[in-house]
Amino acid sequence: MSAVHVPSPREKTRALVLDLIREAQSVSRVELADASGLAAATITNVVRGLIAEGVVHEAGRARSRGGTPRRLLELNAGSRFAVGVQIDWHTATIVILDLAGEVVARTSFAGSGPRGPQESLTELAGRIEAMLCSSGVPQDTVVGVGLATHGPQDRHSGVLLASNPSPGWKGFPIVTAFEEMLSLPVVLENDATAAVIGERGRLSNGQRTIGLVYMGSGIGGGVFVNGDAYRGASSNGTEIGHISLDINGELCGCGNRGCLEMLAGPHQVVKGAFAMPDLTERLGLVGGHDAIVKDFARLTRAAAEGDPVPRALVDASARYIGSAVVSLTNLFDLDEVVLAGTGFDHAGQIYLEAVSHALSSTSYARAHRTVHARLSSSPVFAVAIGAATMMLRRRVPSAEHS
Ligand SMILES: [Zn+2]
């Protein structure tokens, strides 16, 4: 198995047809030809193959005004599955999606911490096998695993290019090692890019340009443009967390000053809380790098419940994110912006309101159209869902594991 599967033109056509059936839920061959721009004979051939492989079936006929009623096609949702995994220092999540893109099982637990890749991947593989077993998903129906983590990455070699989550991960062959543990194809992806692929998968119009802000312990971004996720040279495109909003600001670890992440990320919000001993005590904040996600969750939950002190900290963070989203929108002329990641789990509505306000009051596009912002329907699992969605798109209908 290679680290990156390059789909043939035939596989791409089949993936497109499957996407259209998934989005329409029930669709005729004529409608597929119209929507895809493919010849009727091509659609007939592709659909014949999909039916023979058991991933699509005919489900009755459409009502017709004269002529022969058209036979409708639907997915066999339970015929294929994909696994999505997200791993970073703080958190790990796993989801299993069926062919229709519905979540069959999901779980979240502590991330790698200081552990190296071998130990962390072994734990993940064990959990995946247990989830497949408890969900009743046969191993031979699983098309593969999407593995999402930090950028920068060399996706072709299946390695990470930075010492993240910890030094042992840099250059380690995580894709090859994970494939050997699971006996399944594995594809590596940047976490925020995976999230935007997942969010795109829920929309019907493939031509929309979508931006995504991902907030976990830090801040990242993704853009879906011209029908695909934008990845850049090292799977680290749209690094919105490290655009400078204050050139005289504090020095960031990236070498830039006043980065969005420095001004608005969970570390900054928690740091603000620790300047107020009463607040840290009242909310039971722990402090330190390892507790950042939990401390931020406590603060954002309190803010969402109306506690004015943490609310002020979250409001300040949200205004910076709103400003950065306007820049992202201006750069890519976005149709829509999505907020995803554990950081938006509790106070997502506060962030969404700030982003929507910034877009409607300062985006370049506001004079002639509305740029919509929304919160992911599953902020915590958005990355893992996107990683599994990516695998469904690449590998279905084949489920070959050799
Ligand atoms: Zn930076």
Q: How confident is the model at residue 400 (pLDDT cuts 50, 70, 90)?
A: very low
Distance between CA atoms of residues 241 and 150, nearest Å: 13
Angle at Cα 195 formed by Cα 193 and Cα 199, nearest 5°?
120
What's the length of the chain?
402
Distance between CA atoms of residues 22 and 40, nearest Å: 19
Q: 242 C-alpha vs ligand 1 centroid, how far in Å? A: 4
Contact indicator for 98, 300 with CB cutoff of 8 Å: no
What is the arithmetic mean of pLDDT over 163-175? 95
Distance between CA atoms of residues 160 and 318, nearest Å: 30
The 8 Å CB, 24+ separation contacts for 58-62 are 59/26, 62/28
- Written as six digits, the tokens of 240 are 């919105």
Angle at Cα 11 formed by Cα 77 and Cα 135, nearest 5°?
25
Q: Are strands 142-149 and 103-110 parallel, antiparallel or unpaired?
A: unpaired
Q: 256 C-alpha vs ligand 1 centroid, how far in Å? A: 5
Which tens digits make up the pLDDT trace of 271-327? 999 999 999 999 999 999 999 999 999 999 999 999 999 999 999 999 999 999 999
Those residues whose C-beta lies under 8 Å from the C-beta of residue 347, and which sit 6 or more positions away, are: 300, 301, 303, 304, 314, 318
Q: 245 C-alpha vs ligand 1 centroid, how far in Å? A: 10
pLDDT for residue 398: 56
Distance between CA atoms of residues 137 and 79, nearest Å: 9
Share of the chain above pLDDT 90, in %: 81
Q: 251 C-alpha vs ligand 1 centroid, how far in Å? A: 8
Quote helix, strand, coil % in the chain, to nearest 5: 45, 20, 35
Q: 255 C-alpha vs ligand 1 centroid, how far in Å? A: 6
Distance between CA atoms of residues 58 and 56, nearest Å: 7
Which tens digits make up the pLDDT trace of 86-114? 999 999 999 999 999 999 999 999 999 99
Distance between CA atoms of residues 335 and 197, nearest Å: 15
Q: 28 C-alpha vs ligand 1 centroid, how far in Å? A: 50
Distance between CA atoms of residues 151 and 102, nearest Å: 27
Distance between CA atoms of residues 119 and 127, nearest Å: 13
Q: Which residue has the tokens 């046969």?
A: 138
- Count the Cβ atoms, other than its own, within 10 Å of residue 327: 17
